[in-house]
Structure 1
Amino acid sequence: MDFEAVQGFASHHDPTVQTRALQYFEQLKASEDGWQLCARTLTSAQILDEHVIFFCIQVIEHFVKTRYIHSKEEEQQFLRHFIKHWLQFQSHAGVVHEVFIRNKIAQLVCLVFLADYPHRWPKFFDNVLELLTLGPPGVDYYLRILLAINSDVADREIARTQKELERNTLIKDTVRECSIMRLVDSWFHIVTTYQTSSPELSCLCLEVIGAYVAWIDISLIANNRFVSILVQYLSLPQLREAACECILEIINKGMEPSAKTKLVESFVTVLEQAGVLNPSQADEDADFVIKLAKLVSGIGTSLLVSWSKLSRMVMPDPEQLAITLKAVENKVPLLLQFLNNEDDDVSLGVCDFAREFIQFLKQQSSVGAYNASEKSNAEALLHIIINKYKYDDSYNFDHQGEDEASFDEYRKSLKVLFDNLAQLDNELVLSRMKTMITTTLQQWRNSPFQDVEAAITFLYLLGEAVPASHGNHFIGDGDKPTVMTELLRLLVTCGVSTYGHMAVTLHFFETVVRYEKFFSQEPHHIPEVLVAFMDERGLHNRSPRVRSRTCYLFSRFIKCLKVHIHRYTEDIVKRVQDLLVLAPPENGFNTALLTPDDQLFLYEASAVLIVSSQFETQHKKQLLLKNLLNPVMAKFEMFLQRLPMETDKEKCRAVAECMSHAIACTSRTSKAFSNQQTMKTTGVVQVYTDALKVFLQALELPQEQTVLQSAVRQFLHRMVVCLEEEVLPFIPLAAENLLKNADTRSIQEFIPLINQVIGKFKLSWVFQKEIVPFLQRIFMPLVTAIFKALAIPTVENDQQAQRERQVLQRSYFQFIAAIVTNNVTEVLASQDMQSMEQVLLTIIQGAVDFPDPVAQKTCFSILRKMVEFWGGPEGVAGFVEFMYKSIVPACFLAPLKDTFDLTDAQTILALTESALCLKAVYEKRGDEFISFLHTEYLPTMNVSPQQITDYCHALKSESKVFKNYLKIFIQHAKS
């Protein structure tokens, strides 16, 4: 054994040493006797490092997984002897390895067990039971082996093959028939023997019992012998949590509903007699009470499942239904007690029970059995949810950590309960919430922030929880205002937005934006909300978090209510002017108040206001938009002059980021335009074409091209959407600069832009004049650059490089597809024959050789279009020959590949496209194509004459018939 190499296995500081260790590891795995060397090393007398032990076990494990089942009998005996020797020697010597070593040994033993039991190692359990005589180390190994076995034969979370399921069934049946009684006796011996001397072993044994109880006879465990010690252990600090979890597993065992109710109730009786179910919040250990809460939840949900099963029976037993119903009702006080526990983790522990109980009440309500008692329970749940939803004083709003994240998740669970309660009893929830919200908002000045925040948050949540009549919470019957209208009026007019606490402020803004329909009904409330958004409560708040969120919400508020806000346009733009200033790079690329992303929302909101405003003349809009963007242009041009003079790399990057942000701000304002209010109808085309001229200059700079190109590309995408032919003269210049010294990624990102241009302007005369000659000129250089990038070899395990390669391949095929599907085929036809053939062959290669169904579908679509254009008598010279020589074979070869998965939806789409391609050939060549298939091509595929006839007949039929036939034909050919 090369111990020096093995030691490098754990080295994280020297890649060379680690590489040597990995190579040695692979060498031993591949070697016929490498595993035996490791086994002998492990059983030698020398003291071994834990990493050496783990290394050796992994090599042996690899042998067991890959070659053991087919190995020689003496090798199998050698391995079984090694396992026995290791376990006995280590236990005898009292050696206690790290947990990861013990678990790894247990997994190894389990792998051999799965291969050998019961036929080749029928006395397996006799051998492992001998470990119990070797003291605590032996007991530990015994229990870990049992847990590993259970995980492999009984864990329902792990997907299994049919063969594995059959193996596992045989193992479980054999264990139940031959060994279970001795195992159960050993468990009782362990939990009682080691409860004081080695309580961790008793806990591990309780875990084993909980795991095995799912698939053994319940009476072996649910009896006086075990239940009495489980209840006793609930009062022992070192054992109580494990005992609690074990009882929960027993209760969760799948059973017939009446028997399950009886089992659960018997446990509840002994637990109540032992006083376990009423822990004192002050005295009890929190971790135990959390486990106890989960046990209570298991008790409740088990009873509810039993009741549900009984009620769904064809002829339910009324007596059993009544017993189970009474059992459920008796657990409600426990549910309320634990849900209301001051520890949120305890409360969370019974949330599943609470949710299922509310579902149960819904079922009761649907059959008219929702009575006063159940309504009282629902009201009690609602009261607890409201109180538990409130923040406590320890919540840190400025620096949120794990505790804060946990509480946020807990709130989500409470929200689910709240929503379900609203579905159960709409009137109750709306009535109680109205009282709580109204009272709190009327007294907000004298209320703690927790109460105020909760009131506003529940007002927000009511929007989802309570259904709205006519699809609008603010349209009632007659003149009487709806409850939601009353509450929103109170929220907006009571002054609570000035409370000052971050949580209250944020939820105020979240709520007014959530209910923008209220302001459409009562627009006179809009000004006071706008002022709140723009002053120190919102956009100018001292908290960066509030400012950031408010930018987004303000933008949404403006966009939703722009028809009611246009009269305030100039005032709003003036009030946010200081927030629109682009910061110099020396400020760390931030303004004093906002991040760059925050600013984008404000630029968009400002543009929306300007474009949607109703001034008497369009000139006013143009002027306001220029005033909005001119400072951006001026700042950009200043950066443009400055960037070439910067020598420091970090400063260069900072300036380029500022330039990119300036472009992004301008680009974001274009989102204000729509099909009804275009740049042309608004009269601002020149504003954006002037901006385009300025921004394109950035592409001529040698520095930071990755950042600048990305920003310019995004702006061009927006201009193609928003401008008409005015953008086209800029495309060739922009494209040439974007493709100068292009790498794989820049080519990949350029293609969607050119595809967008082709798709939008294909019929424009300006396109024919400006773009087609340009495409004809750059087509082969671009294609060559793509081929060059694709030719660069990638490392086999470099998934990122392989993904980028696949994306580039798809982009290339989409580029060709954009040309042929938009009838710009003169771009291809103008290329020389050699170049044209090169391109056509890449399409064939994409259809056949790349195991990428998305790309294959695109390629077949391209080939079909080419056949439609050039497959007839008037087509391009040489194309018909290419069609028979390459396109038609591709339609057969691709589906016959092993990688062509006919069970995959994307692959079926590719097959459909290949079928349409063959149909296109038939439509262009008619009987000539049928004759070619009959006499030349299909006979080479070893297809019978009858199949050839059937194939040609299907090809002549409708497309749908042929597509269905082709799938069957390919399945038969592959079988």
Structure 2
Amino acid sequence: MDIQALQGLSLMSDKDSQTRALQYFEQLKASVDGWQLCIEAFTSGIYDSDDHVKFFCLQVIEHFLRNRYYKSGTEDQKMIRHLLSCILERQRASVEKSFLKNKMSQIVSLAFVVDYPHRWPDFFSALLSIIKQGQWQVDIYLRVLLAIDTEVVDRDIVHTQEATRRNSLIKDAMREDCVKNLSDSWLQILTEYESSHVELVCTCLEVIGKYISWIEISLIANNRFVPLLVRFMSLRLLRESACDCIHDILSKGMEPLGKVELVESFTTVLQNSGSLQPPEDEDEEFVFKLSKLVNNMGVQLISSWHKLKGVDDDNAVKVLEAVETKVNLLLHFFGDEDDDISGSVVTFVQDYITVLKQMDQLLPKQRENVEHLMYVLIKKMKFDESYNFEQEGEEEAMFQEYRKQLRVVFNNLAQLDGQLALVTVHNLVSHMLPHWKEQELWDVEVTIALLYQLGEALPTSHGQHFSGNAEKASVLQEMMRTMLKSGVNCHGHKIVQLQYFETLVRYDRFFACEPLYIPDTLRAFMDERGFHHRSPQVRSRSAYLFSRFAKTIRIHLQNYLPEIFQQLHDLLVLNTPENGCQTLLSNEDQLFLYETVSTLIVTSNFPPEKSGLMKEVLAPIAETFTVMLEKMATETNEQKQLLYAQSISNAMALASRASKGFSGQQTMHDCGCEATFTDLLKIFLQAINVPVQRPLIHVGLRQYLHRMVVCLEKDILPFIPLVLEQLVKQPEARELHDFIPLVNQLIMKFKGSIGPFLQAVFMPLVTAIFHTLTAPGDELDQQKKNDNKMLQKSYYLFLSTIVSNDLMDVLKNQDAQNLQEILLTVVQGAVEFLDPPSQKLCFNILRKLTEAWGGLKDVSGFAKFIYDSMIPACFLAPLRPSFDIQDGQTALALGECALCLKSIYENRGEEMLTFLQRDYLPTLQMSTQQIIEFCQALQLDIKLFRNYYKSFFMKAKS
């Protein structure tokens, strides 16, 4: 061993020494005898005092066992056996660190899965023999069994088919060979070390829990083990492990009647011993495990009930009675103050409710249980006094997750008994909200939260619960009225404000029935309770919720628009470096307000004023944009430059969002707002050639251009050449890549009518792309390579968009040399571009061009291109080593390639067959028989030819 290299294993070593140790590690793994050196070092005792070196050696040996041991010879097997003997009978086991013991156990298990049962049939005899040597060997024995479980059984590990088959054989062999002896050894360990070494007993219980899933249940569920397990449940140091072990035993896959018998037998002995009652010492960890055990009992019984129902109804009734006997325990744990304990029985709660849903009629006791569940649920949904609303951490996040589970339970209870849910929440609302000032925060919040939750629990609430007829007003409508009258929106705490606004928006249809509540609701949104709240969280959420609220009831807001616009005026001020970006709402929040205001203007009843109102809303953007652009250009501080750029980009994003109020050009025209947005576009285009922060600013500009394609339609076309002209002056791959989707959007929207425009911009754009892709660059610049690849993909998508939208004349009308160059780039993409989706796209382009131009009447020398380039591409691409036919995406490209060939045949007929037979296929060293076979296959229907084509290349590449 390289002593100097091993010194780098110490945590105190310098970086160079650690690097050398890592290199030595890789060298030993790769070498033929590195593992042997490590075995000698480990077994010699030289490094017994150095844990790092021992672990290092074991890792090298592990690599050998995982990768090469299965094909080892007799001598190698002997050496591994020697190592395993040293591990199992290791005299230093008492002082070994736990991580070393685990690694040694893993080494034993890795050799085991290769050698057992064929190369080492008496493995378990050797393993079982060591437990007589003392407690340290028992420890290693149990760790080895756990490691074997990890390699052979653990369902959380994904195994290959071969490994799964191997593991099944191992378990079958163990069932015949040793599991009886193993269970005897477990009983021996449990009884012998119960008093002296409880850690060994706990590990043994873990082993039993792991192995019970696949061994015979009678080996453990018997008069030898069960009394022990029950007794352990009363011993403080053993009860948690015993509880886990019983949980695992009850989880074993079994037939329903056998499972019921198992659960009930354990229930009986545990109840008789008092073990199912939470201990008086308030050990939360044990209570948590006990609650999981009760949850499992209920879940297993209900699972058996589902299997028996309709098949064996008499026994199904008995199982349901057994479930009912567990409900008191369920309610006890569900109501525990500790949320982890309560949450651990939620599955049982949900399954029990599911059972009750299938009952024709609930029994009085079952109805009482449901009411109790509802009571406990409301209590548990309340925020705790310790909840930190200002700085939510891990505990708060855990409570929110737990609360989500409770909301699901509430929904299910409401589906089971909708009247109970309505009456319960109605009582809360009636008693709490009118007197909210005298109530605790959490009581007020949970009341509104449950009112909100009814909307999800009772889906009909949006339709049937709100009507304009006061005589038919529902309970839910009454509750909304109570909440709005109560003035609870003046509550000082943000959590109540947030829940209040969420509830308003959930039941926004209420305001269509009772519009008299709209003014007060609007004021709540606008003042210090909403947009002007001291909490940024409330302000932000209010902006989003108001956008939803306003869109839904916009018809009823007509009379309040002047007040709304006035109140929102200060909130539409841009965040700029000049005001320190300290406006009340963030950039993202303002997006919602701009869209809301736009929607309200568009749907308002005063058409002559719409354009003036829209201009007023967008005026801050128009006024400050040019100023910010100039300041950014002259600013030398990069941080301030970035702030200006963010403000400029955000200004364009806000204008884009304001255009969302218009569904298209007609809407914008009807509102008289075209000039407003066109003028803004002219202002924004100043940013096309900014000297700094171009990528960030161009994001906002492109976003606005995309929206204007929708809102201005063809009126935007005169501006596109200007944008392109600036782009091609100093083309960059990423900018061109980001610009192409805009052109694609124009093509797909206007199709054939955009031909003249596309004709004008086509070659300048293509030339800029070619220039950028072929520009010299640093070979090590990975970012540039990635940008070029993205641009190349966009280029092929651009060509595909053209040929897919009946605009092939744009290509046909190009100069012959330019067209030839473009076609060759498509062939190059089909053959050489290492991106299967793009290759598929290229073959698709070639196929569509063939369908349009490939007839006997030649178009621009296209027939020559077919024979010189296209047909060879259909063979060269699949034959490339990088073309993996087994890959799903590549297989799709191959299918498109076959379609391309088929299209050529359909358009050129016998001429193509002659070319293949006489001129091309012989150059591929194909025999005459193969050539005839290929040409015959080409004349079959496309499905048969595609299958043949795939098998042809699979054979060619094998």
Report the TM range for the smaller structure's normalisation. Answer: over 0.9
Question: Which stretch of structure 1 is more off in the superposition, 931-940 or 72-81?
Answer: 931-940
Which residue, out of 505, 508, 513, partners 2:500?
Answer: 508
In 2, Cα distance between equivalents of 1:743 and 1:55 = 50
1:581-730 correspondence runs (5 A): 581-585=573-577, 589-591=581-583, 593-617=584-608, 620-675=609-664, 678-730=667-719
- Could you give the per-residue CA deviations for residues 49-73 of structure 1, whole angstroms, max 9, x where no partner exists? 4443333222222211221111221
- Could you give the per-residue CA deviations for residues 874-932 of structure 1, whole angstroms, max 9, x where no partner exists? 54433212213432344456567787777877566545544543443244324433554
Quote the offset at 1:612 in angstroms.
2.0
- Could you give the per-residue CA deviations for residues 361-389 of structure 1, whole angstroms, max 9, x where no partner exists? 122x2xx2533332222222122112211
Quote the offset at 1:301 in angstroms.
0.8
Match of 2:298 in 1: 300
Structure 2 letter corresponding to 1:646: E
Q: Does residue 208 of structure 1 match 2:197?
A: no
In 1, Cα distance between equivalents of 2:730 and 2:48 = 60
Whether contact under 8 Å (1:762, 1:768) holds in the other structure is no
Q: 1:935 to 1:378 in 2, by over 3 A?
A: farther
In 2, Cα distance between equivalents of 1:566 and 1:12 = 74
1:279-678 correspondence runs (5 A): 279=278, 283-313=281-311, 316=312, 318=314, 320-363=315-358, 365=359, 368-468=360-460, 471-475=463-467, 479-585=471-577, 589-591=581-583, 593-617=584-608, 620-675=609-664, 678=667
Structure 1 letter corresponding to 2:649: S
Q: Does residue 966 of structure 1 match 2:914?
A: no
1:209-228 correspondence runs (5 A): 209-228=208-227
Q: 1:25 to 1:968 in 2, by over 3 A?
A: same
- Could you give the per-residue CA deviations for residues 808-866 of structure 1, whole angstroms, max 9, x where no partner exists? 44322212212322344455446565654443333234334556443233222211222
Match of 1:865 in 2: 848
Structure 1 letter corresponding to 2:97: H
Question: Which stretch of structure 1 is more off in the superposition, 31-40 or 183-192?
Answer: 183-192
What RMSD over aligned residues (CA atoms) do the two structures have, in Å? 3.0
- Could you give the per-residue CA deviations for residues 615-637 of structure 1, whole angstroms, max 9, x where no partner exists? 141xx222222221121222222
Q: 1:376 to 1:856 in 2, by over 3 A?
A: farther
- Could you give the per-residue CA deviations for residues 208-250 of structure 1, whole angstroms, max 9, x where no partner exists? 1100011111121112322222222222222221111101000
SS in structure 2 at match of 1:263: helix
Quote the offset at 1:431 in angstroms.
3.1
1:25-40 correspondence runs (5 A): 25-40=25-40
Q: 1:41 to 1:828 in 2, by over 3 A?
A: farther
Match of 2:259 in 1: 260
Match of 1:959 in 2: none
Structure 2 letter corresponding to 1:777: P
Structure 2 letter corresponding to 1:138: Q
- Could you give the per-residue CA deviations for residues 311-356 of structure 1, whole angstroms, max 9, x where no partner exists? 243xx262x3343222111111111111111111111111111111
In 2, Cα distance between equivalents of 1:48 and 1:711 = 64
Match of 2:248 in 1: 249
Structure 1 letter corresponding to 2:76: E
Quote the offset at 1:586 in angstroms.
6.1
In 1, Cα distance between equivalents of 2:41 and 2:303 = 54
Q: 1:634 to 1:952 in 2, by over 3 A?
A: same
Whether contact under 8 Å (1:241, 1:291) holds in the other structure is yes
In 2, Cα distance between equivalents of 1:580 and 1:794 = 43
Q: 1:184 to 1:317 in 2, by over 3 A?
A: same
Quote the offset at 1:11 in angstroms.
6.8
Structure 2 letter corresponding to 1:308: H
In 1, Cα distance between equivalents of 2:667 and 2:9 = 64
Whether contact under 8 Å (1:444, 1:496) holds in the other structure is yes
Match of 2:762 in 1: 775
- Could you give the per-residue CA deviations for residues 757-785 of structure 1, whole angstroms, max 9, x where no partner exists? 333344446x625x532322231221331
Whether contact under 8 Å (1:519, 1:525) holds in the other structure is yes
In 2, Cα distance between equivalents of 1:479 and 1:786 = 73
Match of 1:186 in 2: 185
Q: 1:570 to 1:903 in 2, by over 3 A?
A: farther
SS in structure 2 at match of 1:225: coil
Q: 1:549 to 1:304 in 2, by over 3 A?
A: same
Quote the offset at 1:403 in angstroms.
0.8
Q: Where does the alignment leave 5 or more consecutive residues of structure 2 unmatched?
A: none
In 1, Cα distance between equivalents of 2:596 and 2:852 = 48
Match of 1:854 in 2: 837
Question: Which stretch of structure 1 is more off in the superposition, 696-705 or 389-398?
Answer: 696-705
In 1, Cα distance between equivalents of 2:468 and 2:304 = 43
Quote the offset at 1:532 in angstroms.
0.8
Match of 1:841 in 2: 824
SS in structure 2 at match of 1:678: helix
Which residue, out of 794, 799, 804, partners 1:816?
Answer: 799
Q: 1:741 to 1:226 in 2, by over 3 A?
A: farther
Q: 1:826 to 1:49 in 2, by over 3 A?
A: farther
SS in structure 2 at match of 1:284: coil
Structure 2 letter corresponding to 1:509: F
Q: Where does the alignment leave 5 or more consecutive residues of structure 1 unmatched?
A: 956-961
In 2, Cα distance between equivalents of 1:702 and 1:470 = 54
Structure 1 letter corresponding to 2:94: G
Q: 1:511 to 1:664 in 2, by over 3 A?
A: same
Q: 1:783 to 1:474 in 2, by over 3 A?
A: farther
Whether contact under 8 Å (1:132, 1:142) holds in the other structure is yes
Whether contact under 8 Å (2:295, 2:345) holds in the other structure is yes
In 1, Cα distance between equivalents of 2:850 and 2:12 = 58
Q: 1:500 to 1:887 in 2, by over 3 A?
A: same
Question: Which stretch of structure 1 is more off in the superposition, 849-858 or 629-638?
Answer: 849-858
SS in structure 2 at match of 1:443: helix
In 2, Cα distance between equivalents of 1:927 and 1:524 = 81
In 1, Cα distance between equivalents of 2:710 and 2:264 = 68
Q: 1:341 to 1:568 in 2, by over 3 A?
A: same
- Could you give the per-residue CA deviations for residues 712-737 of structure 1, whole angstroms, max 9, x where no partner exists? 22222222222122322222232343
SS in structure 1 at match of 2:574: coil
Q: What is the total number of aligned residue pairs between the two structures?
A: 951
Q: 1:452 to 1:185 in 2, by over 3 A?
A: same
In 2, Cα distance between equivalents of 1:160 and 1:283 = 44
Whether contact under 8 Å (2:728, 2:768) holds in the other structure is no
SS in structure 2 at match of 1:224: coil
Structure 1 letter corresponding to 2:61: I
Match of 1:958 in 2: none
Question: Which stretch of structure 1 is more off in the superposition, 64-73 or 38-47?
Answer: 38-47
- Could you give the per-residue CA deviations for residues 464-505 of structure 1, whole angstroms, max 9, x where no partner exists? 211318955424999411222222222223222112221211
Quote the offset at 1:608 in angstroms.
1.7
Structure 2 letter corresponding to 1:270: V
Q: TM-score, normalised by structure 2?
A: 0.92
In 2, Cα distance between equivalents of 1:755 and 1:49 = 66
Whether contact under 8 Å (1:555, 1:601) holds in the other structure is yes
Q: Does residue 278 of structure 1 match 2:264?
A: no
SS in structure 2 at match of 1:532: helix
